[in-house]
Amino acid sequence: MKKRPILLATLTITGIFLVFLLIAVFLGRSGSRSGLVSVGEKIGVIEIYGPIMASDTLIDDIIDFRDNNSVKAVILRIDSPGGAVGPSQEIYSEVIKLQKKKPVIVSMGSVTASGGYYIAAPAKRLFANPGTITGSIGVIMSFPNYEGLMKKVGVSSVVVKSGRFKDIGSPTRPFSDAERKLMQSLIDDVHSQFVEAVSLGREMPAEKVMKIADGRIFSGRQALAAGLVDELGGFRDAVDYTSRLVGLGDDPDLIYPEAEKPDLLERILNSTLGSIAFDARQRWKVGPQYLWTGM
């Protein structure tokens, strides 16, 4: 009889926790982001740091600024070696839409290479520091091979597949000639998309872009000579230019996107699991990359 109150209390606490967990699941991301509220004319600043593995948050920020009438221009502050092809292309498309409605200026930090440069290309004006690493117009896709190790430890792999290319890129065997040819054609096609994006954004003939689109990197000063950027300067130079462009004077107000807040489920997981909890949206994605691997 004495054990029943303890059991009842345990069941009650467990039930309450499960109710909150179910509420979190059904509500989803109800507390993730909120609209921007601002007074007076401003310059929006969107910071793009690190590898580009997802596009959702950046696209939300771009749309917020595009639809905010108080934001007269947007500066993209980019410090990124690039990343996955799909997200880079999605952000690029939204930058084009934003550029059609209000000026987009790019300020490059330490690195704005590969996919970072891809999303910068359609902007009205590109600023780079003299030592900024940029360019790296190219595509890369890598595959590990464990065949030698497997032989040493006496492990083999048995594959049943529906077609000869179904296990292309398998880490347990080398590429066949046909597979290498197929993968090269894929990479060449994605590379041509990059060249076309730079050609359109920079208003350069595709043939001229192709001559420097072999993955090479440039300093900011070299990029200026090659026509990949418009001006040497830092973030404040980009702010001053943008302010003059839209007539906001010498000390314009800058507005940044609101920080993304974790939803209820994420808060519960973070509080209960601590460092074990992780954000699945940031996991590395496989496939072709607009990425400079020198970082």
Report the C-alpha gap between 3 and 142 in whole angstroms.
60
Contact 43, 253 (CB under 8 A): yes
Digit-coded pLDDT (tens) for 216-266: 999 999 999 999 999 999 999 999 999 999 999 888 999 999 876 666 665
What residue numbers bound the domain in which 223 lies?
42-136+213-291
In sequence order, the β-bridge partners of residue 112 are: 80, 134
Residue 262 is assigned to a structural domain of this protein: yes
In the predicted model, is pLDDT for residue 119 greater than 90? yes
Which pLDDT score, from 0 to 100, does residue 88 have?
Answer: 97
Our answer to whether residue 114 is catalytic in this structure is yes
In the predicted model, is pLDDT for residue 6 greater than 80? no
**What is the pLDDT confidence band of residue 33, given thresholds at 50, 70 and 90?**
very low
Which pLDDT score, from 0 to 100, does residue 295 have?
Answer: 66
Residues of the chain with pLDDT > 90: what percent?
65
In the predicted model, is pLDDT for residue 10 greater than 80? no
Which pLDDT score, from 0 to 100, does residue 102 have?
Answer: 97
Residue 246 is assigned to a structural domain of this protein: yes
Residue 244 is assigned to a structural domain of this protein: yes
CB atoms within 10 A of CB 271: 9
Residue 22 is assigned to a structural domain of this protein: no
Digit-coded pLDDT (tens) for 81-118: 999 999 999 999 999 999 999 999 999 999 999 999 99
Digit-coded pLDDT (tens) for 164-180: 999 998 988 999 999 99
Give the mean pLDDT of the chain: 86
Which pLDDT score, from 0 to 100, does residue 269 have?
Answer: 55
Contact 43, 75 (CB under 8 A): yes
CATH number of the domain within which 231 lies: 3.90.226.10
In the predicted model, is pLDDT for residue 283 greater than 50? no
Residue 129 is assigned to a structural domain of this protein: yes
Query: Annotated catalytic residue: which of 100, 151, 161, 166?
Result: 166
In sequence order, the β-bridge partners of residue 140 are: 289
Query: Annotated catalytic residue: which of 55, 80, 107, 114?
Result: 114
Tokens of 35: 């609209």
* SS3 letters across the chain: CCHHHHHHHHHHHHHHHHHHHHHHHHHCCCCCCCCCCCCCCEEEEEEEECCECCCHHHHHHHHHHHHCCCEEEEEEEEEECEEEHHHHHHHHHHHHHHHHHCCEEEEEEEEEECHHHHHHCCCCEEEECCCCEEECCCCECCCCCCHHHHHHHCCCCCCCCCCCCCCCCCCCCCCCHHHHHHHHHHHHHHHHHHHHHHHHHHCCCHHHHHHHCCCCEECHHHHHHHCCCCEECCHHHHHHHHHHHHCCCCCCCEECCCCCCCCHHHHHHHHHHHHHCCCHHHCCCCCCEEECCCC
Total domains present in the chain: 1
Residues of the chain with pLDDT > 70: what percent?
78
Residue 6 is assigned to a structural domain of this protein: no
Our answer to whether residue 152 is catalytic in this structure is no
Question: Is beta strand 104-113 parallel, antiparallel or unpaired with respect to 125-128?
Answer: parallel
Question: Is beta strand 71-80 parallel, antiparallel or unpaired with respect to 104-113?
Answer: parallel
Residue 122 is assigned to a structural domain of this protein: yes
Which pLDDT score, from 0 to 100, does residue 259 have?
Answer: 77
- Of 8 and 120, which is predicted with more confidence? 120
- Of 152 and 134, which is predicted with more confidence? 134
Residue 2 is assigned to a structural domain of this protein: no
- Of 251 and 11, which is predicted with more confidence? 251
For the segment 207-221, the average pLDDT, to the nearest whole number, is: 97
